[in-house]
Structure 1
Amino acid sequence: MSVVATTPKPKVKELASEIIRDLPEEATWDELMHKFYLREQLDAAESDFASGRVVSHEDMKKEFAPVL
């Protein structure tokens, strides 16, 4: 049995502050919202991966072979 060490996830407020801090001074609301959206999507993907909700490249090729 292997034990995987995990680091605690940063809080949403901390991530939001970091995203805002890293934006250029002339950033727009659209750019800010896009960064927030990307962060949300990356977090969801990491969660899916950690939970084993993934599909291999080979399985995807088999599934889509009839339409390609």
Structure 2
Amino acid sequence: MEKLNLKEEARKLIDKLPDNSTWDDLMYEIYVRQVVEAGLADSNAGKITSVKEVRAKFGLPE
């Protein structure tokens, strides 16, 4: 994955927020972006667990 310019990406994120956004709104958007990127990196690195394995681990029906 191409490394993105953090400042540029932060500006894009801020520009997408409504004018009446709060600091909490901004922090939430940053958090979601960070979690999604971390998940994609884990997936690309093969660090995944199948749904079947998770269900078995927690005793959930398939």
Instruction: Map 1:18-37 to 2 at 5 A.
Output: 18-37=12-31
Aligned length: 60
Unaligned runs of 5+ in 2: none
With the length of structure 2 as denominator, give the TM-score of the two structures: 0.86
Read off the aligned partner of 1:53 and give its amino acid letter.
K
Larger-gyration structure (1/2): 1
Query: Does residue 53 of the first structure (1) align with residue 60 of the second (2)?
Result: no
4+ runs deviating over 3 angstroms: none
Q: Which has the higher contact order (CA 8 A, sep 6+)?
A: 1
- Matched-pair identity in %: 32
**CA RMSD in angstroms, aligned pairs only:** 1.4
